Homo-oligomer: A and B are copies of this chain.
Amino acid sequence: MDLDALISGAREGRPRAVARLISMVENGSPRLREITAALCADRPNRARIIGLTGSPGVGKSTSTGMLVQAFRKRGLRVGVLAVDPSSPFTGGALLGDRVRMQDHATDPEVFIRSMASRGHLGGLSWAAPQALRVLEAAGCEVILVETVGVGQAEVEIASMADSTIVLLAPGMGDGVQAAKAGILEIADVFVVNKADRDGAQTAIRELRNMIALVERDWKPPIVPTVAYRGEGGEDVVEALDKHLAYLQESGELERRRQARARDEIEAIALAALRSRFADLHGDRRLDALATRVRESGLDPYTAADELLAALG
């Protein structure tokens, strides 16, 4: 298969080429490095990356659909990367949820893609940066990264995005949950969806009280929405714009993007080291050191030093 043709296709915004490249990246193609190099050399404009996270049932997909629409109204080309730790896009219960996004399925300026975060060490961090590069090459100006808010994922998404939206819904005990999961530190914009339901005002009030307690230069705004009726999408985009302005003025945007680049380089370097170690499993040096630890009173720290010296 001709990689150059695929990459040209992606640059021209052809959905098949984009999809194919993301699949290659996601499946750890042997040509991953080559693909990444080509995408980087291209130096496309960096997209604005917006993370969206929340517990199951708060209305993530519907909200994502609403935001896509709001950004499209501004004439922007939009990418969606839906990262699900368990199910792929097309599988099982999620499918129903996704129907709303089909509204955009025929819009050539919208690229929607799901990725399974296969439980890799580092989860998202592995393939997602390259998938974002593919979408950037395809000319996306805004990319929404949607993920279920469980454990690690939120923190990872926040480290990858310029702005992170945390989605809540009334009556799910989300207030407590938010405080517990350290979400207050990572949310740049809170969206309380299903704001037409009982308890929405209470949820907003509780959230406001919690936010007041956190020491941050940026106080995350709380935006009520009713995503299934399309209410509040513009307000969310306005809140995101204010956050972007804050990021730019404070120099935080530069810092976040620089940190992201550092993290990515480190993650790749660590993965490379780990695979060198894996190669050593069949290596006699490690085996000899292990024997000396077991039989000659060598301590494992000194053995590790010797191993690293041998690797050097």
Asked if A287 is at the interface of the complex by the 8 Å CB criterion, the answer is yes
A258→B287 contact, CB < 8 A: yes
A293→B264 contact, CB < 8 A: yes
Number of copies of this protein chain within its complex: 2
Name the interface residues of A283-305: CB closer than 8 Å to any CB of B: 286-287, 289-291, 293-294, 297-305
- The contact of A281 among B262, B268, B291, by CB within 8 Å, is B262
Asked if A1 is at the interface of the complex by the 8 Å CB criterion, the answer is no
Asked if A266 is at the interface of the complex by the 8 Å CB criterion, the answer is yes
- The contact of A269 among B33, B299, B304, by CB within 8 Å, is B304
Write the nearest CB–CB distance from A130 to chain B, whole angstroms: 9
Asked if A150 is at the interface of the complex by the 8 Å CB criterion, the answer is no
Given contacts A277-B270, A302-B37, A308-B273, contact A265 B294 (CB under 8 A): no
Given contacts A269-B307, A277-B269, contact A301 B33 (CB under 8 A): yes
> Which DSSP category, helix, strand, loop or mixed, fits chain A's interface?
helix
Give the residues in chain B near A294, CB-CB below 8 Å: 257-258, 261
Write the nearest CB–CB distance from A310 to chain B, whole angstroms: 10
B43→A300 contact, CB < 8 A: no
Q: Which of A273, A286, A291 has the most CB of B within 10 A?
A: A273
Residue-wise interface mask of A (239-278) relative to B, using a CB-CB cutoff of 8 A (1 in contact, 0 not): 0000000000000000001100110111011101110010
Write the nearest CB–CB distance from A9 to chain B, whole angstroms: 20
Nearest chain B residue, comparing its CB with the CB of A292: B261
Give the residues in chain B near A23, CB-CB below 8 Å: none
A297→B42 contact, CB < 8 A: yes
Write the nearest CB–CB distance from A272 to chain B, whole angstroms: 6
Asked if A30 is at the interface of the complex by the 8 Å CB criterion, the answer is no
Q: Which 8 A-B pairs have the closest CB atoms?
A: A261-B290, A268-B304, A269-B304, A40-B299, A37-B299, A262-B290, A265-B303, A33-B301
Extra A-B contacts (20), CB below 8 Å, given A262-B287, A272-B304 = A33-B299, A37-B299, A40-B298, A40-B300, A41-B299, A129-B300, A257-B294, A258-B287, A258-B294, A262-B286, A262-B290, A265-B286, A265-B289, A265-B290, A265-B300, A268-B300, A268-B303, A268-B304, A269-B308, A270-B274
* Chain A residues proximal to chain B, CB less than 8 Å: 33, 36-37, 39-43, 129, 257-258, 261-262, 264-266, 268-270, 272-274, 277, 280-281, 286-287, 289-291, 293-294, 297-305, 307-308, 311-312
Q: List 16 A-B contacts (CB under 8 A).
A: A40-B300, A42-B297, A43-B297, A257-B294, A258-B290, A262-B287, A264-B293, A265-B289, A265-B293, A265-B304, A266-B286, A268-B300, A268-B301, A269-B308, A270-B273, A270-B277
